[in-house]
């Protein structure tokens, strides 16, 4: 039997809701930013009405998740009559980015957004798999040193250059918010937790920094950052991962 999320019987409802802009959303994830941070920022930047669900006892809910993991997304139609679900953070982010217009206006822009986003995601995954996901302190220290002298400055130099070439306007593509901006926004705290202000700061990388200040200046993003949920997630992120 397939998982309810994957049941083809819901295709018509899914396709209908996929273009709705007045839905409400629920993001299921642990009580920190982690792998749900990008999803929540897309929802905030899109001006969506969303709430967070933090499982009180994940072990009992785990078997009902399609791949035994969170985040998961639930979308409900405005009138409450229809509900759909999406699993896997990458698929959730793509679904929402497309819905809220963060994937570029045409094939060229979409490919640029995907290119920059992919380059950032690869570094994010490297940091998680090689550093945060490792318990051995010696292995961690070596991974940190390797990344701080290799992949992180590599990422910083390329992104600062390409963002500056686009006018240091806080965006990778044209003058619009995209998934590429949001991915970069979410990796900055992580990278600073590993390298301090040695590589990334307002003065050293002004074009990268402008991505952060541009997103944070959006009223709906600012409002999300002022919620109790956001503050609690930042605190837990700091405790568990070492960056807010």
The residues that touch a copy of itself, with contacts defined as CB under 8 A, are 1-3, 6, 8, 10-11, 14-15, 18-19, 66-68, 86-91, 94-95, 106-109, 111-112, 114-115, 117-119, 121-122, 125-126, 129-130, 139, 154, 158, 162, 165-166, 174
For a copy of itself, give the closer residue by CB, 85 or 212: 85
Minimum distance from CB of 142 to a copy of itself (Å)?
Answer: 9
For a copy of itself, give the closer residue by CB, 33 or 85: 85
Minimum distance from CB of 61 to a copy of itself (Å)?
Answer: 16
Minimum distance from CB of 242 to a copy of itself (Å)?
Answer: 20
Minimum distance from CB of 205 to a copy of itself (Å)?
Answer: 16
For a copy of itself, give the closer residue by CB, 32 or 179: 179
For a copy of itself, give the closer residue by CB, 206 or 244: 206
For a copy of itself, give the closer residue by CB, 151 or 214: 151
Q: DSSP string covering the chain, please?
A: ---GGG-GGGHHHHHHHHT-SS-EEEEE--SSSGGGHHHHHHHHHTT-EEEEE--SSHHHHGGGSTTS---EEEEE-TTS--EEEEESHHHHHHHHHHHTT-S-SSHHHHHHHHHHHHHHHHHHHHHIIIIIT---HHHHHHHHHHHHHTHHHHHHHHHHHHHHHTTSSS-SSTTS--HHHHHHHHHHHHHHHHHTTSS--TTT-HHHHHHHHHHHTSHHHHHHHTSHHHHHHHHHHHHHHS--
Minimum distance from CB of 222 to a copy of itself (Å)?
Answer: 30
């Amino acid at each position: 039997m397939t998982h309810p999320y994957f049941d083809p019987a819901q295709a018509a409802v899914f396709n209908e809701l996929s273009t709705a802009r007045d839905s409400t959303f629920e993001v299921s994830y642990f009580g920190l930013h982690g792998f749900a941070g990008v999803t929540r920022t897309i929802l905030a930047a899109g001006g969506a009405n969303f709430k967070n669900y933090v499982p009180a006892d994940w072990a009992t809910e785990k078997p009902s998740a399609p791949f035994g993991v969170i985040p998961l997304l639930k979308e409900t139609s405005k009138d409450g009559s229809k509900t759909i679900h999406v699993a896997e953070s990458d698929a959730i982010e793509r679904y929402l980015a497309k819905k809220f217009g963060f994937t570029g206006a045409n094939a060229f822009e979409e490919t640029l957004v995907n290119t920059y986003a992919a380059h950032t995601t690869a570094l994010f995954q490297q940091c998680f798999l090689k550093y945060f996901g490792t318990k051995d302190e010696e292995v961690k220290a070596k991974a940190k040193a390797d990344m701080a002298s290799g992949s992180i400055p590599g990422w910083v130099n390329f992104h600062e250059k390409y963002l500056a070439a686009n006018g240091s306007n806080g965006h990778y593509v044209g003058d619009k918010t995209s998934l590429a901006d949001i991915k970069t926004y979410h990796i900055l705290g992580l990278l600073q937790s590993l390298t301090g202000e040695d590589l990334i700061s307002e003065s050293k990388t002004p074009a990268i920094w402008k991505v952060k200040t541009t997103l944070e200046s959006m009223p709906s993003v600012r409002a999300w950052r002022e919620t109790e949920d956001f503050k609690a997630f930042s605190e837990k992120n700091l405790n568990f991962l070492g960056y807010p």
